[in-house]
Amino acid sequence: MSHADHAVSICRIEVRCRPSRPDPRADAVARKAAQAGLRPERVACAKVYFLEGPLNDEAISRIKSRLLADPVTETAVAGVQPAHPDAQIVEVHPQPGVMDPAAQSVRDAVRDLTGISVGVSTGVRYDFVGVDADDALDFTRHALANPVIHDITHGPWLPESLPRGHEHPFKLSHIPLRGLTDADLVKLARDAHLFLSLAEMKAIQAEFEALGRDPTDIELETIAQTWSEHCVHKTLKANITYRHAAHASPADDPIVWENRPGHSINPDKSVSITNLLKSSVAAATFELMADGVTWPLSVFKDNSGVVALDDHWGVCIKVETHNHPSAIEPYGGAATGAGGCIRDVMGTGLGAKPIANTDVFCFGLPDTPFDALPQGTLHPR
């Protein structure tokens, strides 16, 4: 198709490594496939860009050579590059409405380079040789994409236009809560993904019964978010009963539990801990401060802890304590953790200045069998 007439159309550009250069991305995919029990004869990868706008052939050539491809290591071709006769082509693209940072960068760069405003979407093309279609799709779905945020196609995606959002009229919805039985409350908490206990659901129910109305969906979800593990650390603040390992004798335990704040010994020799966080991590910190340690300036009070660097400066330190989103949408999970550290440092005192990011990001065992994963979660690899 010629673009000389500046018609508003979609130009598809594929960027891949030159045949003479190594392709680390394809090599990594081949290793993942082997770990999943597949033995592809060959794997190839290409970055895919869709540009929607009045671009002529000269502008497209400039975009390919000066923007999208490294001329030393890559080639860029408009359209769909031919595949091996036995290849299964699978493509992964962000779903409409999902943030596409690469597309935003390309959109800005195209405008700077050509002076033309275009719509941009990105994706990745995978070519598998020696793997049947079902296996290629299943492997891509489990190891190379996330169905929560990605569309996965068998064969090249050739849209007539880029997906666009549409107006969503506001509708005020009330959730029937009053009069529900305990079983109904448990079902509502599960079906609405509120992740609240029966006791919490009954407390919400009692409040709205006193108000004489049912909650709106926004009210109910706001309460669930406010009472979530993420926000209030219910597990860390819970009362814990600790029982010694079956092979251990309480007499051999080197810890004198009854001397610890918030700890008590039960008749069966188990240990009751009131508020795990307050009675362990916080208690140890306050004991050190009581013994004369002066460098903790503010702990367990503000959005982050503050320790003394010298006589004039304090350093705010924050580490996120949650990781769950990584099993469902890793990029968003990582952003939540990293962003939370920055947010809470900026929200300490009158506003501290972030200088470094500290975030703990954990994964499950990398050799976990695929069939052992909880439904809806991604493999640790």
- For the cut 50, the answer to whether the pLDDT of residue 48 exceeds it is yes
DSSP letter (8 states) at residue 331:
H
Mean pLDDT on 256-277: 89
So which residues are the catalytic ones?
A: 230, 322
Tens digits of per-residue pLDDT, 247-257?
455 566 677 88
- CA–CA dist 282, 305 (Å, integer): 12
Tens digits of per-residue pLDDT, 283-296?
999 999 999 999 99
pLDDT classification of 336: cutoffs 50, 70, 90:
confident
Tens digits of per-residue pLDDT, 1-42?
444 444 568 999 999 999 999 999 999 999 999 988 999 999
Map residue 80 onto helix, strand or coil: coil
Average pLDDT, the chain: 89
Tens digits of per-residue pLDDT, 131-186?
999 999 999 998 899 888 999 999 999 999 998 777 788 999 999 999 999 999 99
Quick one: pLDDT at residue 148?
A: 86
- CA–CA dist 159, 372 (Å, integer): 37
Q: Where in the chain is the domain with CATH 3.30.1280.10?
A: 9-154
- For the cut 70, the answer to whether the pLDDT of residue 128 exceeds it is yes
The torsion of the CA quartet 263, 265, 269, 273, rounded to 10 degrees, works out to -30
- CA–CA dist 57, 64 (Å, integer): 11
Tens digits of per-residue pLDDT, 63-92?
999 999 999 999 999 999 999 999 999 999
pLDDT classification of 326: cutoffs 50, 70, 90:
low
Quick one: pLDDT at residue 248?
A: 54
DSSP letter (8 states) at residue 83:
-
Beta strand pairing call for 240-242 and 271-273: antiparallel
Of 313, 278, 268, give the one whose Cα is nearest residue 295.
Answer: 313
Quick one: pLDDT at residue 5?
A: 45
Quick one: pLDDT at residue 245?
A: 56
Quick one: pLDDT at residue 26?
A: 96
Quick one: pLDDT at residue 1?
A: 42
Beta strand pairing call for 9-17 and 119-129: unpaired
CB 180 within 8 A of CB 188: yes
Quick one: pLDDT at residue 325?
A: 53
What's the CATH fold of domain 9-154? Mth169; Chain: A , (3.30.1280)
Mean pLDDT on 285-310: 94
- CA–CA dist 205, 214 (Å, integer): 8
pTM of the full structure: 0.66
Quick one: pLDDT at residue 308?
A: 96
Mean pLDDT on 352-356: 91
- For the cut 70, the answer to whether the pLDDT of residue 324 exceeds it is no
